[in-house]
Amino acid sequence: MTKAHRRVAILSPIAWRTPPRQYGAWETVASNIAEGLVSRGWDVTLFATRDSVTRADLHAIVDKGYEEDSSVDPKVAEYLHISEVFEHAAEFDLIHSHYDFMALTYSRLVRTPVLTTIHGFSSPQIMPVYEKYRDGYFVSVSDSDRAPKLNYLATVYNGIDLALYPMQPSPGQALVFLGRIHPDKGVHLAIAVARLSGLPLIIAGILQDEKYFQERVEPFLDGDIRYIGPVDVEGKNKLFSNALALLHLNTIPERFGLVLAEANAAGVPVIAMDLGSCREVICDGQTGFLVNTLNEAVHAIKRIPTIDRVACRARVQRLFTTETMVEAYEHVYGKIFELEATKQR
Amino acid sequence: MTKAHRRVAILSPIAWRTPPRQYGAWETVASNIAEGLVSRGWDVTLFATRDSVTRADLHAIVDKGYEEDSSVDPKVAEYLHISEVFEHAAEFDLIHSHYDFMALTYSRLVRTPVLTTIHGFSSPQIMPVYEKYRDGYFVSVSDSDRAPKLNYLATVYNGIDLALYPMQPSPGQALVFLGRIHPDKGVHLAIAVARLSGLPLIIAGILQDEKYFQERVEPFLDGDIRYIGPVDVEGKNKLFSNALALLHLNTIPERFGLVLAEANAAGVPVIAMDLGSCREVICDGQTGFLVNTLNEAVHAIKRIPTIDRVACRARVQRLFTTETMVEAYEHVYGKIFELEATKQR
């Protein structure tokens, strides 16, 4: 059986469009997988919002993402969207879910195998669902973000579309932060490091925690420390063109950290807290620095000139592109088809 | 095939225990159906919280109701609880769901027929789900609470366990309110009527809308107008023993109004706003009065002595008991089995 005869359903989240206009890491990755599979000859149906953009067949139940349209009830939309793919299960050889724990609860009601990429465990309270369905097929997005006892087939690193993030010719003058404005992402730590270093800081990203912004970010904004709001791909590239380094001083373990790869792709070194997957995405001393304290971060900034910007992009090209990711998923799909064939014997 | 060989799964909500300790109309009705079916020889499995009390087989995934235990994540619990009954679908001849729109999204993935009792349309946003699954099997709890175009097999009025609400020997002196403290239930209107009538008012029920309570209820509490909190069955009977009449001045259409039947069962006349199902549960002039304004309510209180308290209970006994309800559901189940048999031919 050739790839073209293998029918894969990609179940994307519906918080945002696939791919998202600005923020939306899970939708970004689902999009990259869908488009990558199409390029490689698979028969792909993308289950996503109706305004999604794809070369796969689009199957939509919800017009817009619930984060982009307040008339959409998230609970109603999720139940309708997730059940839809399972009602069409017989049309597919594989359902590849990016929809967290909820999709698992439909998986035993269909014969089609279900692969779940776990983009993160959003809370300890969802673990009972993974425990119940632990004999399913799972992929982790980093070695560090794994739960014990699940049936992981592989770690597949997230991949980005390199063409979207061209190499920036020369270093900029500012430190940059790119991510959700949320305590988990350590915006306040980036501000502290910028002040200690006497360097300007440009902060970009969606405002997720209003109170945190008002208390820990806004009071420090001035000519040197600026918040420019959420950015699209063009905005990210502009940000990277101004960047001396990306500060990613996360306060909880990172699950993957798509933004680290995006910055590196543009040749921008990354200073990241050594928590979770950061040490898998960033090679300490080669594509940035892993730190444990504010002082280490300040010290790392002084060493930024020692980082070879071309090497940053080269590592992304080797490990974190859509192509690498899709090849890895093809391998995982192949394993599942083999295992399923064995079952049916 | 005899009843005893018909296996029915009753899917109860898990906001509260089944039956609930205090408030919880949907769980009350699910419990009454399960127990009634057991009495009549059916093979019943109740899907409910683990602390539920039943003579049916209990199948539980969640220890306690999410309204009673803050450690339970409602979203996680609902997905696990609802999917569980569908994963066991092959063990049943019928799944009788009391779980709102969510259960419908699993219904097409199993062969077992699914009957949904619609206890109310909680918001217009859930209607797309009912529209998608409109060819399912539905029961309304009153003729007034019906959506157009759904495949209704019948209206089955909710039934109560008459033994729990004995006839109170004589009228009390106070007006009583029993229900959620929420604008929909018109607690503020009950207070206004009590003040206009110069009669004491006892308010009982769970505090659902804190702000409403603080602004529209609490300021009027004094020796004559009292709030006694939520009540269990014993508390309700004590309330009814003190009741001249129950005030139920709902501000939105009532879907059924279990409390109206409970009060009438105890011989307590009901003054209800003529909205939704109230005119189906209360017979105007015989078991209480239907009103449209505060003035009409005040006037109705003067006419309470014309109501025959025995007739109140008699009407409940005829129309709103567990037995009547369960017989009606047996009839609905029979119709479904016939329709399913035709399909399979």
* Confidence bin at B2 (pLDDT 50/70/90): low
Mean pLDDT in residue range A280-293: 98
Asked if pLDDT for residue B76 goes beyond 90, the answer is yes
* Confidence bin at A5 (pLDDT 50/70/90): confident
SS3 A271: strand
The answer to whether A115 and A139 have CB atoms below 8 angstroms apart is: yes
Tokens of A45: 């149906």
| A80/B128 Cβ within 8 A | yes
SS3 B207: strand
Residue B24 burial (C-beta neighbours within 10 Å; 0-12, 13-18, 19+)? buried
H or E segment to which residue B289 belongs: strand B288-291
Virtual torsion, Cα A76, A80, A86, A90, nearest 10 deg: 170
Q: How do strand B201-204 and strand B174-178 relate by DSSP bridges?
A: parallel
Q: Within 13 A of B31's CA, how many CA atoms are on the CB side?
A: 20
Asked if pLDDT for residue B167 goes beyond 80, the answer is yes
Asked if pLDDT for residue B4 goes beyond 60, the answer is no
Distance from A66 to chain B by nearest Cα, in Å? 13
Residue of B nearest to A88 (CA): B109
What is the structure's pLDDT at A22?
86
For B269-312, the pLDDT digits (tens) are 999 999 999 999 999 999 999 999 999 999 999 999 999 999 99
Q: Could you list the beta-strand ranges (E) of B135-191.
A: 137-140, 152-155, 174-178
Tokens of A220: 């420090």
Distance from B54 to chain A by nearest Cα, in Å? 26
Q: How do strand B174-178 and strand B114-118 relate by DSSP bridges?
A: unpaired
For B9-62, the pLDDT digits (tens) are 999 999 999 999 988 999 999 999 999 999 999 999 999 999 999 999 999 999
Residue of B nearest to A106 (CA): B83
What is the structure's pLDDT at B148?
87
Asked if pLDDT for residue B1 goes beyond 70, the answer is no
> Which residue, A246, A249, A233, is CA-closest to A309?
A246
Asked if pLDDT for residue B263 goes beyond 60, the answer is yes
What is the structure's pLDDT at A4?
57
User: What is the 8-class DSSP label of residue B256?
Assistant: -
Maximum pairwise Cα distance, chain B: 69
A52 or A345, which is more confident? Answer: A52
Asked if pLDDT for residue A3 goes beyond 70, the answer is no
**What is the number of other CB atoms lying within 10 angstroms of the CB of residue B323?**
15
B175 or A2, which is more confident? Answer: B175
* Confidence bin at A343 (pLDDT 50/70/90): confident
Residue of B nearest to A123 (CA): B73
Residue of B nearest to A89 (CA): B109
* Confidence bin at A148 (pLDDT 50/70/90): confident
| A110/B101 Cβ within 8 A | no
What is the structure's pLDDT at B35?
97
Distance of CA A190 to the CA centre of its chain: 21
For A154-189, the pLDDT digits (tens) are 999 999 999 999 999 999 999 999 999 999 999 999
The answer to whether A74 and A64 have CB atoms below 8 angstroms apart is: no
Q: Is the dihedral of CA A76, A79, A85, A90 positive or negative?
A: negative
What is the structure's pLDDT at A171?
97
The answer to whether A6 and A92 have CB atoms below 8 angstroms apart is: no
For A75-121, the pLDDT digits (tens) are 999 999 999 999 999 999 999 999 999 999 999 999 999 999 999 99
- Tell me phi and psi for residue B179, to 5 degrees: 165, 180
Region class of B179: left (phi > 0), else alpha (psi between -120 and 50), else beta: left
The answer to whether A113 and A95 have CB atoms below 8 angstroms apart is: yes
Among B109, B122, B126, B127, pick the best mutation site for testing chain A contact (most A Cβ within 10 A): B109
Q: Which of A205-214, B119-128, B150-159 has the lowest mean pLDDT?
A: B119-128
What is the structure's pLDDT at B122?
84
Region class of A276: left (phi > 0), else alpha (psi between -120 and 50), else beta: left
Rounded CA separation A99/A27 (Å) = 10
Residue of B nearest to A90 (CA): B109
Judge if ipTM > 0.85.
yes
Distance from A70 to chain B by nearest Cα, in Å? 11
Among A62, A69, A79, A107, pick the best mutation site for testing chain B contact (most B Cβ within 10 A): A79
Asked if pLDDT for residue B250 goes beyond 80, the answer is yes
Residue A75 with chain B: CB contacts under 8 Å: 75
Percent of chain A whose predicted confidence (pLDDT) is above 70: 99
**Which residues are CB-contacts of B281 (< 8 A; sequence separation ≥ 6)?**
B142, B157, B254, B256, B257, B260, B261, B264, B272, B320
| B106/A73 Cβ within 8 A | no
| B105/A109 Cβ within 8 A | no
**Which residues are CB-contacts of A81 (< 8 A; sequence separation ≥ 6)?**
A14, A47, A61, A62, A99
Asked if pLDDT for residue A344 goes beyond 90, the answer is no
